[in-house]
């Protein structure tokens, strides 16, 4: 079965918060996630959320994921470790989220953890973000 985040064009599994163009998901018993018109819209919404975190001083994988995927709902430590492994950084490495390549790698890692491998790659993420494609982590 296709993962929920992919079905909703919401590869980051963002909670519905009246994001532009989004609506509350349908067809599930307990709807909570946003559903976007296109996958590019969902990727862009994830970038927007991550930039909000950066504005609040959350610029490391550990600080971002501790809020993004709290321990009350997730295996946060494993999430952080997996994302760091995919990105090749330490949990406390400060990330420049205004750097397009860093943002794309972070989004690629998050979407892989949220949905499993094989649904999105860096080329599709780069296209959605309007940046020159990268080749690592595809």
Q: Model pTM?
A: 0.93
pLDDT number for residue 133: 58
Name the nearest CA neighbour of 102 among 45, 54, 38, 35: 54
Residues comprising the chain, all counted: 138
The 10s digit of each residue's pLDDT in 87-138 is 999 999 999 999 999 999 999 999 999 999 999 999 999 999 998 755 444 4
Q: Do 131 and 137 meet the contact criterion of CB atoms below 8 Å apart? A: no
Q: Tens digit of pLDDT for each residue in 53-96? A: 999 999 999 999 999 999 999 999 999 999 999 999 999 999 99
Return the domain boundaries, the chain: 4-129
**Mean pLDDT calculated for residue range 9-15:** 98
> Residue 11 pLDDT > 50, yes or no?
yes
The pLDDT score that the predictor gives to residue 1 is 86
Is the separation of the CB atoms in 86 and 112 below 8 Å?
yes
pLDDT at position 21 over 90: yes
What is the model's pLDDT at position 76?
A: 97
């Amino acid at each position: 079965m296709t993962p929920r985040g992919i079905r909703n064009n919401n590869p980051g599994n963002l909670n519905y918060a009246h994001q532009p163009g989004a609506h509350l998901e349908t067809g599930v018993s307990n709807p909570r996630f946003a559903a976007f018109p296109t996958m590019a819209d969902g990727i862009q919404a994830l970038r927007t959320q991550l930039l909000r975190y950066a504005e609040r001083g959350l610029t490391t994988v550990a600080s971002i994921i501790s809020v993004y995927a709290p321990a009350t709902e997730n295996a946060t430590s494993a999430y952080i470790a997996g994302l760091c492994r995919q990105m090749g950084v330490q949990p406390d490495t400060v990330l420049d989220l205004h750097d397009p390549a860093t943002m794309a790698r972070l989004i690629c890692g998050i979407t892989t953890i949220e949905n499993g491998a094989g649904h999105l790659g860096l080329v599709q993420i780069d296209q959605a973000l309007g940046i020159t494609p990268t080749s690592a982590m595809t």
